[in-house]
Amino acid sequence: MTINQDAAVYATVLAPEQRVTHALARPRRGWLQVARGTLTLNGQALAHGDGAAIEGAHALEIQGIESAEALFFDLP
């Protein structure tokens, strides 16, 4: 699939306590969508179906609370 935009899409599957990080270049923004389970985004708890807009953050840390799947959209 082609996205005709300066964007990237990442998928992650996390076990409990497993972490991933992503560096977000300025002035980029992001969107995290939780597809399954529960996790934290920079310490903020999110559950199945939750989404979070990210702006002004340099580094993102996503950690599984329970088994979780999520999509991250790195946007202009």
Closest to 41 (Cα-Cα) out of 25, 64, 23: 64
* pTM attached to this predicted model: 0.91
- Say which residues have a Cβ less than 8 Å from residue 39's Cβ, sequence separation at least 6: 14, 45, 46, 62, 63, 64, 65, 68, 70
Report which of residues 61 and 1 the model is more confident about: 61
Quote the pLDDT of residue 5: 84
Q: Calculate mean pLDDT across residues 10-36.
A: 96
- Mean model confidence pLDDT for the chain: 94
Q: Calculate mean pLDDT across residues 48-55.
A: 97
Superfamily per CATH, domain 8-75: Jelly Rolls (2.60.120.10)
Report which of residues 3 and 21 the model is more confident about: 21
